[in-house]
């Protein structure tokens, strides 16, 4: 009944201004939410206040800890959003008010006038050229200049200019030059702000953050010293599309700085007026990234980092820190630092800081303020418009357990508006918020969604190959090393190459449009993009081919960035020669490419979740609430996982009650089938079609499911150090927590306790930080202080990594007289059991690096903050499910930044501490994220399978049978033909590995898209500068 009503409503509205979900904020988090929901069958309105989507990520040069090019990985998503049939993008617009309730909101959106008719503008930018008004470019943090009419940045979506307030006509009614030069008559000064009402069922709020403005604190002299810049400005300076084309130049004299200092915690971790009490969570690591990039630009540069703890708490951050530390000319100095003066002549900046030897002053060419993150500028207005509450810091107020819920039902939040976070957290939160929208709107899923329509495909298989080669500068990533114009000239000398050109960013929409146009107008039937890795960008360009009406398999990618310019950054000539070779190899292959057809595989609508902790249960519930059956498999006899040992969180969550409720919900949900005490002897299949055997006391079940979520948890490290296991007064934080919760008298009335941090990690065996232990220690210390204020508690730490709001509790603990004593890893604390004045104590001796003396602490109990280590069975699970583990043994996501809950293997998702140690609220967000990603698959009836499968040339098959056992997918079988027994491939079962191909003695079975001919020609082209196509066939005939 409900459904009918909705359908009727849809019809009556003819889908104008009626959608399922509105996403407000077009940064990376909003983009992810839009793509997930659009793909999962919802109609999405995607509203962004600036002239383009992209958000803060688009302003970054690189992303830590991999130093991937930020724009390169983000911009394909812009294009995806734009091309998505279920996403309607409204840029340069803001939400004025939200009326109604969950399931039925009416949102009033005000579109600001661009003064450009988007439907007419071609993005040619002639207007920009002629515009006489030069004003500071916002994208480049106002370091360089732009015009009053301009496109926000090269990859902007939509790729349409807008006219800023600085326009002469808007200000004084003069000029209008742009109107005269615009051939498309797209300029329209009569535009007025336009109000639209849009009805949606749910809202995701992802307005992001702003960088802290250091003007609030005079002591940084940000406004009056030319060579003091913020981290975000420095990011633009580093970037090839930045104000000086990737040259780091000082504002005072346009010279390269060689001696640069970074000051940490600007605007963070302080309670003085104008500062923020929380830790901004990303600045330590972004500084390290900037240091590494500075050294990339100038390997003789000296870099000094003034910090107050290095908070490398994220996955792979610790190694990134070490990498930075090990570079020559790098100093990390632990000290608050202030800026004291500027040299009137050189404009160098002097920094004052303290060392154990006393106060020092030092001069630098440039000082970068590692500024923190603050809520969006107009946050009060946002709160009012959406009717949501803010927390004490002005970020979005969320529950203690679920960080994706706002105070208004039906409105969810994702990204850094929850609080300072890095990109992957913003992305997984977006998928999670998407899943929560799905929970309330699943009854109407698919009603408004449309399928993507491509133009009919032109058959070019009988034509002579006409190859087009596009060589990308990738800003300066390629162009700075490889001589791009030379490679273009070279490409034109290669057989069948009829067109070659260079591009600053071939992944920009503009370039993609140009490429599509070339295919049509120049009659290209093969396209080679010489740029970055096909592992990230191939889908984007294949799609462009489809849009241009030729088969997407006529595409090849020459990786001249990851495999050339980035790995040969000191050898420009050799790198250029190599780039030419790579292009030649690609041409050799492209010549023989064949058009292939993809096919649809059915998707089993059920999901399996492995692991019944908080992560697994949350994911299972979210999927089940979206009307998909879930099989929840847990190895223990009871659900609950690691959380069974937790009792309270810093934010005040009663963990036991929460888990109990969650278990209750799981058992009472009819869509969830729970298997406890279970093992998984076998799992097979592929995306959309898995078959898993589950065994437990009740027997063996063979379960078919379309998606898999692995939430297999982690273990607590069992220490061998500090008398653990030998002296019963030594315990781990988890053990302590259990005993506090039980109210054990001995514990709560103890006179003194010592806690040691980083036990079993941040060392050679486990080169990572366990992220949660600093806050865990503070949590227990505060709990003990609450019960027994007299207790003496000392925490021996290396760096206190209480990121984000946990910093407040650190301060709280310090105010409550918890002692913090730092130790260096070279000089770890010593523990011995002694009797002091008749009282048996544990004596902990530590060398305090500040006081430079030995400190002896006598404690009744010693608490070890031990590492979180990968679950014992993770290797086995990884082997069975064919998913990867990272170097530390945790589950390896498909992409650190942009696919944080996907495995590389399609249809399998990850969440919880199996991915990396994390807090409960983070686990919950990630579990919703995994559910959201699973729904992008389960919500569809089919999944597209690659056309790159094997096929048999029956004439050549001698029925030797080598191929059949090679394929454990059962895709190859014998069939009887008139010519006798022949091998035959069942394409839907073939996964395209090509094992059978290399086993075949005659070459009868060939993996399409990686055929012998294609690969042999590529090998030939690698060996010789002379490209003789087809010489491999002769060899083939011989072989």
Angle in degrees, CA 427, 428, 429, rounded to 5: 90
Nearest Cα neighbor of 920 from 747, 737, 751, 752 is 737
Tell the smallest beta-carbon distance from residue 295 to other proteins (Å). 10
Nearer to other proteins, 773 or 967 (CB): 967
Residue 962 binds to other proteins (criterion: CB under 8 A): yes
CA distance 295 to 326: 12
- Written as one string, the DSSP assignment of 13-71 is HTTTTB-SEEEE--SHHHHHHHHHHHHTT--EEEEESSSSS-TGGGG-SEETTTTEEHH
Q: At what angle do helices 920-938 and 423-441 cross, to 10 degrees?
A: 60
Burial (CB < 10 A; 0-12, 13-18, 19+), residue 965, is exposed
Give the pairing type, strands 330-334 and 839-848.
Answer: unpaired
What phi, psi does 716 have (nearest 5°)? -95, 135
Tell the smallest beta-carbon distance from residue 589 to other proteins (Å). 9
CA distance 355 to 989: 66
CA distance 647 to 419: 24
566, 797, 861, 916: which one contacts other proteins (CB under 8 A)? 566
Nearer to other proteins, 135 or 969 (CB): 969
CA distance 207 to 210: 10
672, 805, 1018, 1029: which one contacts other proteins (CB under 8 A)? 1018
- 687-693's contacts with Cβ under 8 Å and 24+ in sequence apart are 687/601, 687/905, 687/906, 687/907, 687/937, 687/943, 688/601, 688/602, 688/603, 688/604, 688/907, 688/937, 688/942, 688/943, 689/601, 689/602, 689/603, 689/604, 690/604, 690/608, 690/907, 692/608, 692/631
CA distance 91 to 765: 49
Tell the smallest beta-carbon distance from residue 565 to other proteins (Å). 8
Tell the smallest beta-carbon distance from residue 240 to other proteins (Å). 15
Quick one: how far is CA 860 from the chain centroid?
45
Nearer to other proteins, 130 or 1010 (CB): 1010
789, 955, 976, 978: which one contacts other proteins (CB under 8 A)? 955
CA distance 609 to 622: 11
Tell the smallest beta-carbon distance from residue 159 to other proteins (Å). 27
461, 597, 664, 1024: which one contacts other proteins (CB under 8 A)? 1024
Find the binding residues for other proteins in span 633-692 (CB under 8 A).
Answer: 684
Residues 6+ apart with CB under 8 A from 837: none
Nearer to other proteins, 533 or 763 (CB): 533
Site stretch for other proteins (CB under 8 A), options 139-147, 245-253, 750-758, 1031-1039: 1031-1039
- What is the three-class DSSP state of 519? helix
Find the binding residues for other proteins in span 766-795 (CB under 8 A).
Answer: none
CA distance 635 to 633: 7
Find the binding residues for other proteins in span 376-405 (CB under 8 A).
Answer: none
Residues 6+ apart with CB under 8 A from 568: 481, 574, 575, 578
Nearer to other proteins, 547 or 604 (CB): 604
Tell the smallest beta-carbon distance from residue 685 to other proteins (Å). 9
Six token digits for residue 382: 């946002």
Site string for other proteins, 933-952 (x = CB under 8 A): ---------------x----
- Written as one string, the DSSP assignment of 431-488 is HHHHHHHHHHHGGGTTSS------PPPP--TTSPP-EEEEEE-TTTTTTTTS-HHHHH
- Written as one string, the DSSP assignment of 878-943 is HHHHT--B-TTSSB--SBTTTBTTB-SSTTEEE-GGGTS---HHHHHHHHHHHHHHHHHHHTSSEE
Tell the smallest beta-carbon distance from residue 1019 to other proteins (Å). 5
Find the binding residues for other proteins in span 518-547 (CB under 8 A).
Answer: 533-535
Tell the smallest beta-carbon distance from residue 1003 to other proteins (Å). 8
Site stretch for other proteins (CB under 8 A), options 240-248, 365-373, 572-580, 809-817: 572-580
Nearer to other proteins, 510 or 581 (CB): 581
Burial (CB < 10 A; 0-12, 13-18, 19+), residue 391, is middle
187, 284, 1020, 1029: which one contacts other proteins (CB under 8 A)? 1020
Find the binding residues for other proteins in span 969-1008 (CB under 8 A).
Answer: 969, 979, 991-995, 997-1002, 1004, 1007
568, 591, 644, 776: which one contacts other proteins (CB under 8 A)? 568
562, 727, 812, 848: which one contacts other proteins (CB under 8 A)? 562
Nearer to other proteins, 210 or 598 (CB): 598
Residue 498 binds to other proteins (criterion: CB under 8 A): no
CA distance 397 to 418: 7
Six token digits for residue 800: 């206190």
Six token digits for residue 737: 């927590």
Find the binding residues for other proteins in span 277-296 (CB under 8 A).
Answer: 296
Sign for the pseudo-dihedral over CA of 881, 882, 885, 889: positive
656, 1019, 1030, 1033: which one contacts other proteins (CB under 8 A)? 1019
Q: 436 with 411: CB under 8 angstroms?
A: no
- What is the three-class DSSP state of 796? strand
Nearer to other proteins, 533 or 742 (CB): 533
Give whole-number Cα distances, 392 to 398, 563, 653, 805, in Å: 11, 48, 18, 10
Find the binding residues for other proteins in span 37-66 (CB under 8 A).
Answer: 66
Nearer to other proteins, 568 or 822 (CB): 568
340, 567, 834, 944: which one contacts other proteins (CB under 8 A)? 567
33, 430, 476, 575: which one contacts other proteins (CB under 8 A)? 575
- What is the three-class DSSP state of 332? strand
Site stretch for other proteins (CB under 8 A), options 505-513, 562-570, 715-723, 748-756: 562-570
Tell the smallest beta-carbon distance from residue 536 to other proteins (Å). 8
Tell the smallest beta-carbon distance from residue 528 to other proteins (Å). 14
Nearest Cα neighbor of 213 from 274, 280, 144, 264 is 274
Site string for other proteins, 868-907 (x = CB under 8 A): ----------xx--x-x-xx----x-----------xx--
Tell the smallest beta-carbon distance from residue 546 to other proteins (Å). 21
- What is the three-class DSSP state of 280? coil
Tell the smallest beta-carbon distance from residue 73 to other proteins (Å). 10
Site stretch for other proteins (CB under 8 A), options 88-96, 545-553, 642-650, 966-974: 966-974
Residue 960 binds to other proteins (criterion: CB under 8 A): yes
Q: 164 with 136: CB under 8 angstroms?
A: no
Residue 321 binds to other proteins (criterion: CB under 8 A): no
Nearer to other proteins, 179 or 1015 (CB): 1015
Tell the smallest beta-carbon distance from residue 987 to other proteins (Å). 15
Nearer to other proteins, 570 or 853 (CB): 570
Tell the smallest beta-carbon distance from residue 28 to other proteins (Å). 18
Find the binding residues for other proteins in span 108-167 (CB under 8 A).
Answer: none
Residue 327 binds to other proteins (criterion: CB under 8 A): no
967, 983, 1027, 1029: which one contacts other proteins (CB under 8 A)? 967
Site string for other proteins, 579-618 (x = CB under 8 A): --xx--x---------------------------------
């Amino acid at each position: 009944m409900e459904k009918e009503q909705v359908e009727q409503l849809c019809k009556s509205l003819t889908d104008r201004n009626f959608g399922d979900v509105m996403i407000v904020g077009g940064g990376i988090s909003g983009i992810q939410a839009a793509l997930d929901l659009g793909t999962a069958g919802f109609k999405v309105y995607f509203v962004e206040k600036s002239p383009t989507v992209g958000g803060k990520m688009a302003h970054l040069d690189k992303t830590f800890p991999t130093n991937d090019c930020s724009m390169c990985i983000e911009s394909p998503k812009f294009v995806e959003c734009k091309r998505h049939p279920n996403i309607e993008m409204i840029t340069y617009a803001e939400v004025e008010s939200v009326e109604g309730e969950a399931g039925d909101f009416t949102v009033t959106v005000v579109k600001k006038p661009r003064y450009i008719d988007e439907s007419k503008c071609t993005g040619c930018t002639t207007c920009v050229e002629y515009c006489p008004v030069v004003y500071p470019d916002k994208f480049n943090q106002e370091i360089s200049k732009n015009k009053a009419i301009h496109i926000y940045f090269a990859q902007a979506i939509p790729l349409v200019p807008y006219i800023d307030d600085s326009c002469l006509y808007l200000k004084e009614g003069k000029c209008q030059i742009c109107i005269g030069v615009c051939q498309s008559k797209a300029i329209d000064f009569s535009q007025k702000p336009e109000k639209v009402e849009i009805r949606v069922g749910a809202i995701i709020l992802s307005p992001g953050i702003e960088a802290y403005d250091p003007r609030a604190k005079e002591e940084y002299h940000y406004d009056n010293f030319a060579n003091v810049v913020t981290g975000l400005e420095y990011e633009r300076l580093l970037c090839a599309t930045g104000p000086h084309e990737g040259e780091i130049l000082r504002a005072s004299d346009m010279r390269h700085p060689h001696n640069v200092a970074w000051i940490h915690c600007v605007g963070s971790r302080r309670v003085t007026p104008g500062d923020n009490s929380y830790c901004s969570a990303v600045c330590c690591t972004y500084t390290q990234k900037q240091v590494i990039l500075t050294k990339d630009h100038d390997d003789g540069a000296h870099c000094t980092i003034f910090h107050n703890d290095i908070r490398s708490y994220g996955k792979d951050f610790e190694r990134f820190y070490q990498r930075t530390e090990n570079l020559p000319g790098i100093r990390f100095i632990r000290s608050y630092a202030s800026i004291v003066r500027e040299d009137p002549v050189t404009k160098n900046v002097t920094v004052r800081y303290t060392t154990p030897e006393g106060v020092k002053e030092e001069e630098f060419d440039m000082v970068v303020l590692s500024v923190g993150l603050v809520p969006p500028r107009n946050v009060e207005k946002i709160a009012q418009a959406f009717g949501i509450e803010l927390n004490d810091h002005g970020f979005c107020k969320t529950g203690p357990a679920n960080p994706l819920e706002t105070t208004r039902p039906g409105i969810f939040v994702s990204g850094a508006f929850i609080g300072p976070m890095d990109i992957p957290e913003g992305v997984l939160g977006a998928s999670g918020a998407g899943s929560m929208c799905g929970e309330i709107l699943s009854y109407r899923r698919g009603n408004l969604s449309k399928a993507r329509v491509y133009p009919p495909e032109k058959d070019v298989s009988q034509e002579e190959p006409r190859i087009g080669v596009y060589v990308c500068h990738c800003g300066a990533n390629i162009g700075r090393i490889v001589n791009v114009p030379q490679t273009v000239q070279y490409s034109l000398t290669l057989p069948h190459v009829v067109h070659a050109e260079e591009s600053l960013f071939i992944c920009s929409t503009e370039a993609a449009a140009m490429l599509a146009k070339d295919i049509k107008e120049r009659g290209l039937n093969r396209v080679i993009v010489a740029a970055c890795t096909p592992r990230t960008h191939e889908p984007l360009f294949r799609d462009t081919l489809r849009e241009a009406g030729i088969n997407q398999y006529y595409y090849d990618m020459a990786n001249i960035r990851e495999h050339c310019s980035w790995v040969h950054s000191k050898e420009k000539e050799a790198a250029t020669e190599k780039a030419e070779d790579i292009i030649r190899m690609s041409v050799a292959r492209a010549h023989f490419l064949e058009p292939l057809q993809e096919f649809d595989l059915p998707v089993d609508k059920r999901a399996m979740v492995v692991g019944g902790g908080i992560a697994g249960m949350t994911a299972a519930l979210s999927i089940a609430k979206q009307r998909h059956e879930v099989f929840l498999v847990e190895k223990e006899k009871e659900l609950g996982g690691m959380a069974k040992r937790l009792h309270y969180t810093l934010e005040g969550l009663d963990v036991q009650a929460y888990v109990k409720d969650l278990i209750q919900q799981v058992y009472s949900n009819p869509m969830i089938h729970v298997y406890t005490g279970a093992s998984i002897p076998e799992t097979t299949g592929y995306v959309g079609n898995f078959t898993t055997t589950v065994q437990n006391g009740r027997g063996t079940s063979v379960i078919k499911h379309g998606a898999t979520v692995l939430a297999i948890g982690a273990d607590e490290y069992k220490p061998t150090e500090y008398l653990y296991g030998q002296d019963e007064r030594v315990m781990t934080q988890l053990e302590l927590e259990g005993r506090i919760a039980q109210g054990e008298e001995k514990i709560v009335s103890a006179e003194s306790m010592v806690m040691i941090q980083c036990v079993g990690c941040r060392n050679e065996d486990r080169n990572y930080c366990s992220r949660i232990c600093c806050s865990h220690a503070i949590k227990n210390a505060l709990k003990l202080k609450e019960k027994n204020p007299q207790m003496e508690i000392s925490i021996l730490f290396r760096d206190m990594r209480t990121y984000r709001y946990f910093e407040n509790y650190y301060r709280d603990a310090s105010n409550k007289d918890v002692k913090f004593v730092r130790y260096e890893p070279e000089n770890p604390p010593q523990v011995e059991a002694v009797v002091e004045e008749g009282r048996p104590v544990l004596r902990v001796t530590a060398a305090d690096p500040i006081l430079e003396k030995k400190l002896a602490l006598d404690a009744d109990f010693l608490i070890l903050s031990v590492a979180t280590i990968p679950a014992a069975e993770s290797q086995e699970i990884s082997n069975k499910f064919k998913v990867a583990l990272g170097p530390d043994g945790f589950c390896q996501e498909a992409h650190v930044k942009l696919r944080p809950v996907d495995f590389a293997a399609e249809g399998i998702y990850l969440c919880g501490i199996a991915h990396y140690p994390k807090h409960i609220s983070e686990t919950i967000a990630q579990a919703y994220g995994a559910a959201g990603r699973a729904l992008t698959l389960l919500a569809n009836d089919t999944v597209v399978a690659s056309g790159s499968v094997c096929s048999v040339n029956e004439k050549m098959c001698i029925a030797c049978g080598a191929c059949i056992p090679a394929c454990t997918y059962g895709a190859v079988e014998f069939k009887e033909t008139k010519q006798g027994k022949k091998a035959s491939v069942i394409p839907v079962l073939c996964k395209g590995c090509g094992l059978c191909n290399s086993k075949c003695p005659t070459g009868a079975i060939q993996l399409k898209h990686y055929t012998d001919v294609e690969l042999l020609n590529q090998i030939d082209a690698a060996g010789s500068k002379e490209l003789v196509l087809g010489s491999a066939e002769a060899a083939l005939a011989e072989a």
